Amino acid sequence: MGEKELLWINLLKAICIICVFYVHCQTYYGFGVKGVSTYIHPIYVNSFFFVSGYLLFRKQLSSSLTPLSFTEYFMDGGSRAFLNIIYRLIIPTILFSIIEFVPSYVIRGKEFGVGEFVYKTIGGCTYWFTAALAVAELLILLLFLTRIKNIWFYFVSTCSIFLVGCYLCRENIEIISKYPSCPWQYKEGLLSIVFLASGGVYWKYENIICKVVNKYVTMSLVAIYFILETICPNEFRVLVSMQDVNLQGVLISIVATVALIEICRLFKSSNVLNYIGRNTISFYFMSGALPIVLSMLVNRFVPKPSMMGLIVVFTGSFSISFLATYLMNRYTPWLFDMRRLRSN
């Protein structure tokens, strides 16, 4: 089942990163297909959190892989998981934040400031998603140290953490008042953790869910999802990046993600989509800067936003990201995991 699982995960991640590029291109270019974002918002980022949780719980709680004692886990599986977060999330986020910092300031005409540099780079506040994911995964790793095997312990614990995040956002409480959600988008991390835990619950009951949620149930869920988002879109607040989340938003996001997973299981993924799915973090790091630059270029030559302009910005941004990802994987793979320097 392992190979099949990887295929559906890659397909889902590929679909979601394409949606991320579309939303960013639409936002920065100033033109989009009316209503599309309404249907994308509940799934295009939260599905990444969900799948990340699925993989994390699958690896750390599987009885065949995980030692039972605290000491064994801390010295083996726990330390490896911690190092993976450091090398594959935190360090790449800082590196790409540094790479983007100077060009973004030049383009936007801002003056260089040391405080802003630290905030954007070491503070982890350029790429909110990877920062929030790192925070959420670190918190779950701390829970894993209890060595409790019951999945509902983790779900209830993360729901409590989620509620703390909701309170901090509602009351506008900051650690550093000058820099919102610094360090490392911790508020978004507290909010996103419920999606990771939901991915863990899905892993635990995957076989049962797959039997219950057949293609007919999936089609029904999709239909209900579109009807609800069409009739009352403002009822479902699901934007973790904007710290705008409510209970019904979380529920519809999880249901939509499960439906998308089952859809991905029904289709075979192409080599191109598999490649995109395996390298979504690389695409994500370019999903902000490239749409901004290309939007500026298109607007300079064709001032009036149009569908053709949006297509140019989207296809150009994604194509350049694809090429850059290929080149980085070939020549500088250590950008995504510094441990690869030791193997070269």
The residue type at 280: T
Residue 334 gets which letter from DSSP? G
> What does the pLDDT read at residue 77?
67
- Whether residue 161 contacts residue 153, with contact meaning beta carbons closer than 8 Å, is answered with no
C-beta of residue 235 within 8 angstroms of C-beta of residue 122: no
Average pLDDT rounded to a whole number, residues 174-179: 84
- Tell me which residue of 265, 240, 238, 233 sits closest to 253, measured CA to CA: 238
Structure tokens at 230: 């069409």
What is residue 276's predicted lDDT score, i.e. its pLDDT? 96
Sign of the four-CA dihedral 143, 191, 151, 206: negative
Structure tokens at 45: 């980022």
Which residues, other chains included, contact 258 with Cβ-Cβ below 8 Å and sequence gap of 6+?
Answer: 202, 209, 213, 221
Answer whether 123's CB lies under 8 Å from 179's CB.
Answer: yes
pLDDT beyond 50 at 221: yes
Residue 151 in contact with residue 159, Cβ under 8 Å?
Answer: no
Spell out where the chain has E strands.
238-239, 244-245
Rounded to the nearest 5 degrees, what angle is found at the Cα of 250, between the Cα atoms of 249 and 255? 100
* Helix, strand or coil, per DSSP, at residue 307: helix
Condensed to tens digits (0 to 9), the pLDDT of residues 254-285 reads 999 999 999 999 888 789 999 999 999 999 99
What is the structure's pLDDT at 2?
Answer: 45
Quick one: pLDDT at residue 3? Answer: 45
Task: Return the pLDDT at 63.
Answer: 61
pLDDT of 1 > 50? The answer is: no
The whole-chain average pLDDT of the chain stands at 90
Question: Which of residues 102 and 170 earns the better pLDDT score?
Answer: 170
